[in-house]
Structure formats: C-alpha cells, structure tokens
A and B are shown apart, each in its own frame.
Chain A
Amino acid sequence: MRDKETRVKLLRWLIHSPTTYRVLRPIVDLQNIRENTAYRIWVRFLLDILRKAYAHKRPVIWMNSFLPIEIVYGVGAVPFLPEVMASLVGYMGWGEYPIAQADARISTDLCSFYRCAFGLALEGFLPRPNLIISSSHLCDGANKLFHYFSQICGCPHLMLDPPYSESPSTHQYMTDQLKDLVEKTCGLLRLPLDQDRISVVLNLSNQTRQYLVKINELRRAVPSPFPGSEGLSYLAGMNFYSIGSGWGLRFFRSLHDDIEKKVANKKGYLFEEKHRLLWLHHVRPYYKNEIFQILAERKAAVSFEESNYLYWPPLDPAQPWKSMVDKILSNIWAGPLERRMKAIEEMVENYSIDGVIHFSHWGCRQSCGGAAVIGDWLKERGVPYIVLPGDCMDPNNYSPGQTRTRLEAFIEMLE
C-alpha cells in the first residue's frame, strides 16, 4: 500500500516536471524511429504541449474536444484537453487507477473518458488550469463536468452554449457568445486580444484543413492506404488538438505525403483487402483489445472513420468569430440526427463502404442514442450495419468473446 502511494507520488512529480518531457523526447524519437514521420510529429507535439502545460510560462486553458482549438491558440494560451489526455492514459494501459479514483465519487455509468479525466484531476496529475472553457453542443457531460473541474481547480469556467437548430438568429446568438467568451478569456488571463495573431492561427487552420481535404480524398483509394485504427487514435487526436498550430500543419502535410506515396504505389494497409468498413463514433477502445486484429484476419479494412469527416467550411480570418461559429454549428454530431446521417451517406458513397460498424461507447448517450435509427436507415439503403457495444477506456466493460462473435458474424454477412 505504502509502495503504491510512493509510486503515485513519484509519478505525479515526474509528470509535473517540464524536464521529464525534454528528457523523454530523444528517447521516444529513438523508439519511434521506424514509425512514419506524422506519428513522430504527433509524439513530439504531445511532449511539447505537455511540457508547456506543466511549465506554466503561459496561461493554461482546459477545454473539451469539440470546441475549436483555434480559440486557445488565437489568444496565445496553452490548450489542454483532458479527454484526449484520458485516451492517452488508456492507450498506455494506465486507465484503471484514475477510473477507480473517480468511481468512488461519481457514477460508474458515466462516460469513462470523463471518469478517467476526473480521476486524473482528483489525483492531481493534470496541469493546473488558469481557465476552463467548454461547449455544450455535443454532450451533457461537457457542461457539468468541466464546471465541476473549475470548482476542484479553483479557476473560472466559461461555457459556450450552441443551440440545436440553425437559423439566422442562431448565428448571431452564437457569435455574441463567442466574442464575449474570447474577450472574457483575455480579460481573465490578462492576454491582449491580438487580431493579427488570430488571423495567423486561422490561416494555419485553413492550410491544415486543405491537407485534411486531400488526405480524405486519398483515403478513397482501393486498397485502403491508412488504417482506421490510427485514424481513430493519433489522427483524431491531432484533429482535435493541433489545428491552428504549426505542429498541426507539419503533421497533416507529412501524413498527406505519406498516404500519397502509398496510394501511388497502390499499397493498402492490409496485405489483402476484401471488405471496406466505416467506423462510426469518434472513438475506439484504447486499451489492448483484438477488434482491429479480428477485422484484419478477415480481410476487412476500416477504410474511414467518421471522426475525421471534415464538416466545417474554411475559416475567414476577416470574420474570425463568424467563422468559428460556423465550425461549431456545422458539427455533424450536434443538432438533428439527419445532419449526421447525411454525412454518413456521403462517407458510405465516397469510401465505397461495404459495411458500417457503430461502436457504442458505454456512457455516450449522444452517439449511441442514434445508433438504432442510423442502423435502420442504413439497412433501408442496403448497407450492412452492426452495433458493437463496448467501452473505450474501461476494459471492465469489454467482452472479448462477445466482440469476436459479433464481428465474425458481421463479416460473414458481408461475404
């Protein structure tokens, strides 16, 4: 018991020390020498952002994943995304401890990304925030938990509250909110509201977006050049975290070049591809599991994942607030389900999809609540569909036997 406490204390100390990330960088660079350049950029980006967040030379803003990150880069603060950090902790196989800590305080039926992030916050593993901002447009948890985080951490919380439906008054209402949020952010953190910096960030965001457009075009190729499992991990992570930064531009350019070469050489990520699948939900299990291995064994490629569907139009640096509002309001997971269904229809067509998997992450009401409607609607269109229940972070909610049976039955149906 005492040993465990000492280990936790030591780990906390190491995590909070900016030196850790400086020391780690050459080590992980060496470890990742065989990985593609984009992956190496992702790891370096993470080490850089963690170093900055724990060094506290600039204000740190916690935010939830679906708020445009350009807001934080635009005001010159360091963004910190507890949900992305939770997924990394899960990926490293360390999720159980923080989840157990959270479960002593909140219901085990809540989203395990949030439970893990909550546990990490309670245990003092996360960098101290100067401000927390969140948006309520995707799920109920973001509003309440981020507000509670602000109480635990003793810092202000600002929230954007995007409406469900779109109308001219919606845009004006949101633009007023966003402008107010940015002005309050600058006031609270004593940062100048620098329009030039915001323009630079939006330009970077647009350049990065162009690469994302091209990547998504390239991924239409048969065989599938890029694995969906990676699309759901570091690519989705960079999509949430890096757009509007130089790191983001380098990452997406590099990934584009890599995929372009594969497509030119007609090289798929599987040795042989028989079926092309679309993965619904922006996440997948991050602990050790067999899902993608089972699919690969049956020559089923996850050709695309909805988390990387590009839903927002290019941003206009001359109208930064309106542009970012457009980005928020065009989110396919917010608003009426028809918006998401339209995007799914487009993805099924663009990526020559043979079957669709909806991963139903335990505790995610907003996505899983639409799974049956989406499934029945796809089946009406002759697209095979399966709901795969599970949990992205908590291995206790993962059933390997059932998962294999369901996936194998689904692939048999495709055959």
Chain B
Amino acid sequence: MSQSLAFKKLLNGLKSEASEVRGNPVLGWTCTYLPLEILDAAGLSSYRILPETSSERADAYLDPNFCPFIKASLGKVLEGEYSFLSGIVMLNTCDGMRRLYDAWRFYCHPPFSFLLDLPRIVTSSSIAFFREGLVDLIGKIERHFGVTVTKDGLASAIEEANRTRALIRRLFSSQGRGDPPLRHSDILDILAEGWTNQRKVFNKALDHFLAKLEVDSSVVSRGPKLMVTGSLLDGSLLIRLIEELGGEVVASDLCIGERFLDGVILGSDPVLSLSKAYLEKAPCARMYDTERRILHLKHELDKTKAGGVIYFALKFCDPYLYEAPAAEEALRRIGVPTLFIEGEYTGRISGGTRTRVQAFLEILGRDAG
C-alpha cells in the first residue's frame, strides 16, 4: 500500500472517531491566497474547488481558448457537483477566475459569494489594503452566517494553521522514509486531503502518520533530482510520472505543493498578521514581481540540490505562459536545465508529455553521470 493510501486510511479512521459533527456551512474556495484561518475562526468548513476531470459542460459557456481548470470548475458547477456549498469565496487571481466568479453567480446564484481583492504588489499600503478586504470578508461572513469572529478565535485558528504548516514541513523533510518510501507524489496526495477535511482531524492524522514514518529508516533515491514549478496541476499525475520514469521530485513550487509553509507570525492585530503573511508568501506567477519568484526558485534549487526544473503551465494560463520565457532564461543563465510543458487538465498524461519528460530525465541523468 502506498504511503498516501496509508494516510487516507488513517485519516478515515480518525474521522469516524471524531466527535464533532460536520453540519456547519461549507464555503468553496479556489485560491491559496485566501486565509482559511478566517473560515476556521468563523466555524465554517472549507472546500477547495479542485475538480478531478475536465467537463464538456462548460464548452458552451467559455471560449475554446480558456483555462481548462476554469472550464472544468464551471462544468462541475453547472452539473451541480458543488450544490452542497453554502457559498463561495474567490479572489481576483486571474482573468479566468474573475470570469468564473461572474458565471457562477449568474448561472448558479450561490447563497453567499465574495470576491476578495488580492493586490499584485507587496508594499505596506497593499498589505493594509488587503487587510481591509479581509475585514470586509469577516464582516460579510458574520452577517450572512450569523457567526462572530473574535480576535481570540482568529489567533487560535492561526495557531492551528501554523501547526498544519509545521507538520507539512516535517512531511516534506520525511520524503524517502518509510516502506515503501514516501514519495513527493504521496505528499501532494496527502496535502489534497487537507483541502476538504477538518483541520484538527487532518493535523491529528498527520501527527500520527509522521510518528509512524519516522521510526523507519530512510531510503536514498539515485534518480535525477528535479523541481516542479508552475500552474495548478491536475493532482499528482505529473509528479508520479516523473517518479515512475526514475526521477525524484525534491521540490514543488505549486499551489498544491510547497508554496506556503512558513508560519503566520501572530501580532496584536491577527487580520494584519494574515494579510502580511499571505502577501509575502512565495509568490505565484500572477503576482507582479517575476524577479521575486525567480529568486525563490533559485533558493529552492540551492536548498534541495535539484539539477533541473520542469516548468508546467496549463494551456491558456496567461500568468505562467507570459512568465515562462523570463523564468527559463533566468534558470538557463545559472546553468539549470529546464523543461517547459504546456498541459491540459484532463486527469491523464499525454504520450507527448511522457516522451518529453523521459528525454529530459535522460539528459539530466547523463549530465549528472
């Protein structure tokens, strides 16, 4: 049994033991720049919109040249897959997300909808502005759901979320341990469980899982070490493919991976603390500063000793597609081989991608040898 399956089994066991009943409203969300601590403090459940497969239902509603993740999401919304949600909180992440928010409201009339303005720049004034948006979100949640978000409640939620981040950091540093060894793809599958399960149960499961893992000896992989960066992946398929072909993913700069593992430093104003921490986290391509992203990639490469980078952009994902040439050039300048893949969101890997990844690994293996 793979490590991710073992984790799922453990999590399910803890869920059935948990005394808390999940009857509270569930809010759907799409972007990891949303501080989930706010929903936790409001006593709401959160559910990440990550449809598993593409949906043709959205074809009549969005252009053929539209982000396949957005299309899959809208398709599932129209098919009623998210009818259990009590509302949605989205961010102005990209053009596609803004239009998904419009279409969701127009066609499905969610009982609660909120678009949180996310600045692209990180300055004291943008941190203050983002804080205002968070305060507005809190106010609207309180009024709509009849709940109260207190300062203490937020502080506890931040502490619990920091605990999740600390456990995930330990999980990443345990890669290679256990029998079978914990792979990067397992870790991403484990993280995906966190998007839909209660934080406390998820934390408990992680704690137990890590305790069990750490007694086993570590296994050293000999394959070429790689970093994967880019848009949202459809699950851990690409990472699994790399592993199957003999490579070892040692870092994933992805919004389903390692982008936000530093804790939120709690100050006297918890909302300001959240605003600062979320804006200052490792940026995605949607943010203004390409150089900051490249610096982050270089830092991760140094830290993990990865010998190559796979830069993945979903088709029609403008932030990553426009950024790709600058990132590739910067990595080439420091001698890091980079493979650019423009991919779909279909739940499968194309033959072309498989061949390209295989060739890339061969090149990396040869260079390393």
Q: Which residue numbers of A lie inside 8 Å of B, CB to CB? A: 105-107, 109-110, 114, 136, 139-141, 143-145, 147-148, 151, 159, 161, 163-165, 167, 169-170, 173, 176-177, 336-337, 360, 362-363, 365-366, 368-373, 376-377, 389
Q: Which residue of B lies closest to A138 (CB)?
A: B95
User: Assuming A164-B92, A370-B102, is B316 touching A365 (CB within 8 A)?
Assistant: yes
CB distance from B100 to the nearest CB of A (A): 8
B98 touches A369 (CB 8 A): yes
CB distance from B117 to the nearest CB of A (A): 4
A373 touches B318 (CB 8 A): no
Besides A145-B322, A147-B288, 9 more A-B contacts (Cβ < 8 Å) are A106-B325, A107-B324, A109-B316, A151-B290, A167-B136, A337-B106, A365-B318, A369-B66, A371-B63
Interface check B62, CB cutoff 8 A = yes
Partner of B103 from the list A107, A144, A167, A373 (CB cut-off 8 Å) is A373
Partner of B132 from the list A147, A169, A362 (CB cut-off 8 Å) is A169
Q: Which residue of B lies closest to A176 (CB)?
A: B125
Q: Chain B contacts of A373 at CB under 8 A?
A: 61, 102-103, 106-107
CB distance from B296 to the nearest CB of A (A): 16
Quick one: CB contact mask for B118-134 with A, threshold 8 Å, 1 for yes? 01110001101100100
CB distance from A227 to the nearest CB of B (A): 27
B120 touches A159 (CB 8 A): yes
CB distance from B129 to the nearest CB of A (A): 4
A139 touches B321 (CB 8 A): no
A163 touches B102 (CB 8 A): no
A365 touches B322 (CB 8 A): no
CA distance A360 to B132 in the complex (A): 36
Q: Chain A contacts of B322 at CB under 8 A?
A: 106, 110, 114, 140-141, 144-145, 148
Quick one: CB contact mask for B330-345 with A, threshold 8 Å, 1 for yes? 0000000000001000
Q: Chain A contacts of B119 at CB under 8 A?
A: 161, 163
Partner of B285 from the list A144, A337, A369 (CB cut-off 8 Å) is A144
Interface check B323, CB cutoff 8 A = yes
Shortest Cβ-Cβ A-B pairs, 6 listed: A369-B99, A144-B322, A365-B95, A337-B102, A140-B318, A164-B92
- The number of residue pairs between A and B whose CB atoms lie closer than 8 Å in the complex comes to 132
Q: Chain A contacts of B326 at CB under 8 A?
A: 147-148, 151
User: Assuming A141-B318, A148-B326, A164-B117, is B129 touching A173 (CB within 8 A)?
Assistant: yes
Interface check B67, CB cutoff 8 A = yes
- CB neighbors of A among B65-103 (8 A): 65-67, 70, 92, 94-96, 98-100, 102-103
Partner of A363 from the list B62, B65, B120 (CB cut-off 8 Å) is B65
CA distance A145 to B288 in the complex (A): 11
User: Assuming A143-B288, A151-B326, is B63 touching A161 (CB within 8 A)?
Assistant: no
CB distance from A165 to the nearest CB of B (A): 6
CB distance from A125 to the nearest CB of B (A): 18
A140 touches B126 (CB 8 A): no
B96 touches A163 (CB 8 A): no
Interface check B115, CB cutoff 8 A = yes
Partner of B96 from the list A151, A169, A363, A369 (CB cut-off 8 Å) is A369
A360 touches B63 (CB 8 A): yes
Which of A110, A143, A167, A366 has the most chain B CB atoms closer than 10 A to its own CB? Answer: A143
Q: Chain B contacts of A336 at CB under 8 A?
A: 102, 115
B103 touches A173 (CB 8 A): no
CA distance A337 to B325 in the complex (A): 31
B62 touches A164 (CB 8 A): no
Interface check B181, CB cutoff 8 A = no
CB distance from B303 to the nearest CB of A (A): 25
CA distance A370 to B323 in the complex (A): 24
Q: Chain A contacts of B94 at CB under 8 A?
A: 140, 365
CA distance A371 to B136 in the complex (A): 30
CA distance A176 to B129 in the complex (A): 11
Q: Chain B contacts of A139 at CB under 8 A?
A: 95, 318
A365 touches B106 (CB 8 A): no
A376 touches B63 (CB 8 A): no
Q: Chain B contacts of A177 at CB under 8 A?
A: 125
A372 touches B103 (CB 8 A): yes
CA distance A376 to B319 in the complex (A): 29
Q: Chain B contacts of A337 at CB under 8 A?
A: 99, 102, 106
B95 touches A366 (CB 8 A): yes
User: Assuming A169-B129, A173-B129, is B95 touching A140 (CB within 8 A)?
Assistant: yes
Quick one: CB contact mask for B129-171 with A, threshold 8 Å, 1 for yes? 1001000100000000000000000000000000000000000
A366 touches B98 (CB 8 A): yes
User: Assuming A366-B98, A389-B63, is B318 touching A161 (CB within 8 A)?
Assistant: no
Q: Chain B contacts of A371 at CB under 8 A?
A: 63
Partner of A106 from the list B92, B126, B321 (CB cut-off 8 Å) is B321
CB distance from B90 to the nearest CB of A (A): 10
Q: Chain B contacts of A105 at CB under 8 A?
A: 325
Interface check B315, CB cutoff 8 A = yes
Q: Chain A contacts of B136 at CB under 8 A?
A: 167
Q: Chain B contacts of A362 at CB under 8 A?
A: 65
Q: Chain B contacts of A136 at CB under 8 A?
A: 120, 288
A368 touches B106 (CB 8 A): no
Q: Chain A contacts of B323 at CB under 8 A?
A: 144, 148
Q: Which residue of B lies closest to A165 (CB)?
A: B117
Q: Which residue of A lies closest to B102 (CB)?
A: A337
Q: Chain A contacts of B324 at CB under 8 A?
A: 106-107
Interface check B286, CB cutoff 8 A = yes
Q: Which residue of B lies closest to A177 (CB)?
A: B125
Q: Which residue of A lies closest to B287 (CB)?
A: A143
Q: Which residue of B lies closest to A387 (CB)?
A: B63
CB distance from A177 to the nearest CB of B (A): 7
CB distance from A296 to the nearest CB of B (A): 27
Q: Chain A contacts of B1 at CB under 8 A?
A: none
CB distance from A328 to the nearest CB of B (A): 14
Interface check B60, CB cutoff 8 A = yes
CB distance from B362 to the nearest CB of A (A): 25
CB distance from B322 to the nearest CB of A (A): 3
A107 touches B132 (CB 8 A): no
Q: Chain A contacts of B96 at CB under 8 A?
A: 365, 369
CA distance A366 to B67 in the complex (A): 12
Q: Which residue of B lies closest to A159 (CB)?
A: B288
- CB neighbors of A among B307-321 (8 A): 313, 315-316, 318-319, 321
CB distance from B205 to the nearest CB of A (A): 37
B99 touches A110 (CB 8 A): no
CB distance from B352 to the nearest CB of A (A): 15
Q: Chain B contacts of A163 at CB under 8 A?
A: 92, 117, 119, 129
